[in-house]
Amino acid sequence: MTDRKIGPLGLALPDMPQINNSALVDAMQGIREQHEVDLGYANVLHNRLVRQIKDFERGLSPGEEVGAYLSSFGTRVLVQIQSVGYHDPYFIIFKGISVDDGRQVRLVQHTSQVSVLFVALKVSENRKPRRVGFYVEEDVAPQTAASDQG
């Protein structure tokens, strides 16, 4: 190692060893992922829900699709699930159609409250069964008056 002089005082600093940045980045990524698991982040629960839904779908007959009973505020709603998403750190979002009345529904639930009962729903003969889609809710900044004007 050689010393090099820097600054107005001419202080001598030894050369620094090279650091493998990719190993550091990988280590930091692993720490972040474990932190998210430990704190119960929505993306972790979302990944687990994806696996559970896909596993449930594999057991369906050709004329069935995934439905679920979603509970909130003491009410239970049977929903034909269209998509499941998340918004980190702590929200899971279910979107679908109420089987009872055909209205669109969206349940946004804290990760600590998610409880889902999957059920097989029969599909009418005039359409193919839908499979559940998965997405991430993006933060969208509201437009300002200046950006609306182009």
Query: Could you tell me the pLDDT band of residue 3, with boundaries at 50, 70 and 90?
Result: low
Beta-strand pair 64-72/11-14: unpaired
Other C-beta atoms closer than 10 Å to the C-beta of 125 total 6
Residue 62 lies in a domain: yes
Residue 16 lies in a domain: no
Residue 143 lies in a domain: no
Beta-strand pair 75-87/133-136: parallel
Q: How many Å apart are CA 143 and CA 146, to the nearest integer? A: 8
pLDDT score for 149: 34
pLDDT score for 140: 36
Other C-beta atoms closer than 10 Å to the C-beta of 31 total 10
Q: How many Å apart are CA 50 and CA 66, to the nearest integer? A: 12
| Domain that includes residue 113, residue range | 25-138
Handedness of CA 97, 98, 100, 101 (dihedral sign): negative
The DSSP secondary-structure symbol of 93 reads: E
Most confident stretch, 33-42, 59-68, 126-135, 137-146: 59-68
pLDDT (tens digit per residue) in 19-72? 778 888 888 898 988 988 888 899 989 999 999 999 999 999 989 999 999 876
Residue 120 lies in a domain: yes
Structure tokens at 68: 């679920």
Question: For the chain, what is the domain count?
Answer: 1
pLDDT score for 111: 92
Residue 68 lies in a domain: yes
Q: What is the rounded average pLDDT of the residues 85-114?
A: 92
Strand partners, 86: 92, 136
Average pLDDT taken over every residue of the chain:
81
Q: How many Å apart are CA 131 and CA 107, to the nearest integer? A: 18
Most confident stretch, 65-79, 115-129, 136-150: 115-129
pTM of the model: 0.68
Residue 99 lies in a domain: yes
